[in-house]
């Protein structure tokens, strides 16, 4: 399993820890299925980054709420989760025709520990080698005419600008009409607020590559339009009382913390 995939165990470990807490934010009861000894060893590396851990589980909850809202409007929604990692929303949300796309090692691990056959919703898992351009072929298994939500969580920061452009091009060619749900971090947030969490990510052999002042511009240039105002991940963490920061401080001295890491909702201009 490559270095980026190891970070999937960190994300899963955060959700598992949250599910075991007295007041879970995300309540991913299936996360424990993937937390074997290696996974826990990776997660334990991040024990000195509690604020980043909270932000990670809050991010997952924001995605979850957005997906649930769209499923409420359309139970047959086609949901394509690219770089799905150990996400288990297909098991925890009602409705949807789900596709989980990730590298072979991740898909093999998921199938062994939480088989798609046990999912209450329609779930198709597709193993791809992203480095060999196999995503295009994988997307051909999806219905281009369906109402489609594409979910890409915790992925874009690991990609170079040309890789982002190529990914967006592939998505818009294969699925001309879709909504894209993703998280984006800007350069200021990375430089000021990542701290020890990023050191641990580097120790796993990974690095952030998309460090733009306004990463959302890449999506607008690719033909997307923003559906609404982005959601502050740190701001929502405060709403959940997962962190304690005075509201006035977030609006002033800590504005870069509030606005630097957000969930964005884009749609193709064909919509």
Domain containing 7 equals 3-268
| Over residues 262-269, mean pLDDT | 96
CATH number of the CATH domain containing 10: 3.40.50.150
pLDDT at 254: 85
For residue 248, name the pLDDT band (cuts at 50, 70, 90): confident
Mean pLDDT of the region 222-247 = 92
Counting the structural domains of the chain, the total is 1
Q: Which tens digits make up the pLDDT trace of 145-179?
A: 999 999 999 999 999 999 999 999 999 999 999 99
User: What pLDDT digit, counting tens, does each position of 46-75 carry?
Assistant: 877 667 788 899 999 999 999 999 999 999
**Predicted local confidence at residue 253, as pLDDT:** 76
Structure tokens at 183: 């998280």
- 72-98 pLDDT, tens digit per residue, is 999 999 999 999 999 999 999 999 999
Q: How confident is the model at residue 183 (pLDDT cuts 50, 70, 90)?
A: very high
- Mean pLDDT taken over the chain: 93
pLDDT (average), residues 209-215: 96
Stretch 7-28: mean pLDDT, rounded?
94
């Amino acid at each position: 399993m490559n270095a980026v995939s190891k970070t999937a165990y960190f994300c899963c470990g955060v959700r598992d820890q949250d599910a075991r807490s007295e007041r879970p934010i995300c309540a991913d009861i299936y996360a424990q299925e993937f937390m074997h000894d290696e996974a826990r060893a990776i997660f334990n590396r991040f024990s000195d980054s509690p604020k980043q851990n909270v932000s990670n589980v809050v991010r997952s909850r924001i995605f979850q709420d957005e997906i649930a809202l769209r499923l409420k409007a359309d139970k047959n929604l086609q949901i394509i989760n690219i770089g799905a990692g150990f996400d288990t929303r297909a098991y925890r949300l009602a409705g949807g025709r789900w596709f989980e796309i990730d590298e072979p090692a991740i898909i093999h691990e998921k199938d062994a520990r939480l088989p798609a056959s046990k999912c209450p919703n329609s779930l198709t898992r597709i193993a791809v080698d992203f480095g060999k351009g196999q995503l295009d072929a994988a997307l051909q298994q999806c219905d281009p005419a369906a109402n489609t939500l594409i979910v890409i969580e915790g992925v874009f920061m690991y990609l170079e600008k040309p890789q982002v452009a190529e990914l967006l091009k592939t998505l818009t060619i294969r699925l001309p009409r879709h909504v894209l749900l993703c998280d984006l971090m800007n350069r200021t947030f990375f430089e000021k607020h990542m701290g020890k969490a990023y050191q641990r990510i580097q120790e796993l052999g990974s690095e952030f590559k998309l460090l733009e002042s306004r990463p959302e511009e890449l999506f607008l240039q690719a033909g997307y339009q923003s559906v609404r105002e982005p959601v502050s991940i740190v701001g929502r963490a405060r709403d959940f009382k997962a962190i304690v920061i005075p509201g006035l401080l977030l609006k002033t001295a800590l504005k870069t913390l509030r606005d630097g890491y957000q969930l964005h909702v884009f749609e193709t201009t064909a919509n």
